[in-house]
């Protein structure tokens, strides 16, 4: 392992047991085995005193590498970590193949643990963020997904044919309205659909009152929320989603020219087959589509939740446009209030008529309010 004059000196010292060797060929190391060598060799004594820390680190490194080898060179255990690893590196030691392998494995393990630590910090931050937003794991994954792709869900639309009907009832001014064909969502917008909008836009998730989300109709949303959702979905899909007009809503609820008093029937004794209301709701909403649909296949237009429509409030249909367009300020509508239709899970039959109307400010929301969407001519 040593050549020339150095080799001859080392051989003499080994023969006299002043030095000892370990390993073979390039793996071989030499260490001092007798203190007499220090007394006879002052330069060596000075060298050892000056480099004591490095020599101790080298001995320690070799010992640690050998123990690591003895336990099968595992990936994560038995390796140098923390200050120990830094001491080995900073010493600039002349290493053997085994100690080099040991140091490389230690570095790899340190990088891996750093990565684990970084991921743990990210997870901690994510958990904190989830808690602040009120998101569950599924909602958090949707938020991550929304960064790269659209997460929207489109509603199932039903084709509503053109037709003429009488809007209103005998207690109000009845207007004869003729509508062009349009499309209306078969169900009320659900939490499953609306939550994706709220998550994508960083909005507050509506309160579900502890009843569950998923396929239940979204509640605690205002007219402003409903309009924003329709605009977002239109942007995501390139389709002209919007709120239905009051005339469109009533025409679809009545089954068009059938002029049904409730959505699906004229017989109040059969109302429970078509509507979620006070008598059968269990004091909460039901999943959309849990009751029979009307002749157009529309569900929950009677009961479950009141539904926002596009129109500004007007006391009667006197002076209304006969083509079913949205009643706006230009038609003397009170646009500080918007119209709701259909009744809700807490309503009596008297509030569930297809002609029943309500009015609320556009920013109002509660546990009886939801909406559905339309497309097409208005």
Angle subtended by helix axes 82-90 and 52-70, to nearest 10 = 120
Q: Give the pLDDT of residue 22.
A: 64
User: pLDDT-based confidence at 316, cuts 50/70/90?
Assistant: confident
- Classify burial at 75, counting beta carbons within 10 Å of its beta carbon; exposed 0-12, middle 13-18, buried 19 or more: exposed
pLDDT winner (highest mean) among 46-55, 89-98, 131-140: 131-140
Percent of the chain scoring above 70 in pLDDT: 80
CB 327 within 8 A of CB 262: no
pLDDT winner (highest mean) among 28-42, 125-139, 284-298: 284-298
Question: How far, CA to CA in Å, does 213 sit from each of 205, 210, 287?
Answer: 11, 8, 9
pLDDT above 70: residue 209: yes
CB 288 within 8 A of CB 215: yes
Among residues 192, 188, 189, 226, the alpha carbon closest in space to that of 212 is found at: 192
pLDDT above 60: residue 27: no
CB 219 within 8 A of CB 305: yes
CA distance 199 to 203: 6
CB 354 within 8 A of CB 377: no
Q: Give the pLDDT of residue 325.
A: 92
Q: Give the pLDDT of residue 70.
A: 87
Place of tokens 């960083």: 202
pLDDT above 80: residue 55: no
Poorest-pLDDT segment among 86-100, 266-280, 283-297: 86-100
Helix ranges (H only) for the chain are: 4-15, 36-40, 42-50, 52-70, 82-90, 97-133, 137-146, 191-201, 223-237, 246-253, 271-274
All domains in the chain, ordered by first residue: 4-111 (no CATH), 157-376 (3.90.1580.10)
Poorest-pLDDT segment among 48-62, 233-247, 306-320: 48-62
Q: Retrieve residue 243's tokens.
A: 């709120």
Residue 310: CB partners within 8 Å, gap ≥ 6? Answer: 242, 243, 244, 245, 246, 326, 338
User: pLDDT-based confidence at 13, cuts 50/70/90?
Assistant: low
CA distance 42 to 313: 106
232 or 320, which is more confident: 232
Q: Give the pLDDT of residue 59.
A: 73
Residue 308: CB partners within 8 Å, gap ≥ 6? Answer: 221, 222, 223, 226, 243, 338, 339, 340, 369, 370, 371
The pLDDT tens digits for 115-128 are 888 888 877 777 67
Q: Give the pLDDT of residue 32.
A: 65
Poorest-pLDDT segment among 14-28, 268-282, 302-316: 14-28
- Label residue 326 left, alpha or beta by phi (over 0 means left) and psi (-120 to 50 means alpha): beta
Tell me how crowded residue 130 is: count the other CB atoms within 10 A of its CB. Answer: 15
User: pLDDT-based confidence at 74, cuts 50/70/90?
Assistant: confident
CA distance 375 to 45: 94
Average pLDDT estimate for 210-234: 98
pLDDT above 80: residue 7: no
pLDDT above 60: residue 211: yes
Tell me how crowded residue 59 is: count the other CB atoms within 10 A of its CB. Answer: 13
Collapsing DSSP to helix, strand or coil, 30 comes out as: strand
Average pLDDT estimate for 45-62: 66
Among residues 373, 76, 82, the alpha carbon closest in space to that of 244 is found at: 373
Q: Retrieve residue 278's tokens.
A: 């006070």
User: pLDDT-based confidence at 161, cuts 50/70/90?
Assistant: very high
pLDDT winner (highest mean) among 5-19, 94-108, 125-139, 186-200: 186-200
pTM of the full structure = 0.69
Average pLDDT estimate for 328-349: 93
pLDDT above 80: residue 234: yes
21 or 222, which is more confident: 222
Q: Give the pLDDT of residue 189.
A: 98
Among residues 335, 340, 342, 343, the alpha carbon closest in space to that of 365 is found at: 340
Q: Give the pLDDT of residue 110.
A: 80
């Amino acid at each position: 392992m040593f050549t020339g004059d150095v080799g001859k000196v080392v051989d003499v010292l080994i023969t006299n047991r002043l030095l000892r060797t370990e390993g073979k060929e390039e793996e071989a190391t030499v260490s001092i085995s007798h203190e007499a060598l220090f007394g006879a060799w002052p330069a060596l004594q000075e060298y050892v005193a000056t480099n004591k820390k490095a020599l101790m680190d080298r001995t320690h490194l070799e010992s640690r590498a050998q123990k690591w080898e003895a336990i099968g060179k595992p990936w994560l255990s038995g390796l140098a970590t923390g200050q120990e690893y830094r001491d080995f590196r900073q010493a600039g030691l002349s290493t053997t193949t085994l100690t080099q392998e040991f140091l490389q494995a230690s570095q790899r393990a340190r990088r891996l643990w750093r990565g684990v630590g970084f991921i743990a910090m990210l997870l901690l931050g994510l958990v904190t963020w989830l808690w602040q937003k009120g998101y569950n794991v599924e909602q958090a994954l949707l938020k991550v997904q929304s960064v790269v792709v659209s997460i929207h869900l489109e509603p199932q639309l039903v084709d509503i044919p053109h037709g003429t009907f009488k809007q209103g009832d005998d207690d109000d001014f009845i207007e004869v309205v003729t509508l062009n064909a349009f499309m209306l969502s078969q169900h009320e917008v659900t939490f499953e659909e609306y939550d994706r909008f709220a998550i994508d836009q960083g909005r507050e998730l509506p309160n579900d009152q502890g009843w569950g989300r998923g396929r239940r109709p979204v509640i605690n949303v205002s007219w402003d929320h409903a309009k924003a959702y329709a605009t977002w979905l239109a942007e995501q899909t390139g389709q002209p989603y919007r709120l239905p007009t009051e005339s469109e809503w009533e025409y679809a609820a009545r089954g068009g020219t059938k002029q049904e008093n409730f959505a699906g029937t004229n017989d109040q004794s059969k109302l429970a087959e078509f509507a979620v209301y006070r008598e059968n709701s269990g004091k909460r909403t039901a999943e959309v589509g849990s009751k029979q649909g009307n002749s157009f296949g529309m569900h929950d237009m009677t009961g479950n939740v009141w539904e926002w429509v596009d129109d500004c409030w007007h006391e009667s249909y006197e002076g209304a446009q006969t083509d079913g367009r949205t009643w706006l300020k230009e038609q003397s509508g009170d646009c500080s209030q918007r119209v709701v239709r259909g009744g809700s899970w807490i309503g009596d039959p008297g509030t569930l008529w297809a002609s029943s109307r309500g009015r609320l400010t556009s920013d109002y929301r509660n546990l009886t309010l939801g909406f559905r969407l339309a497309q097409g001519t208005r």
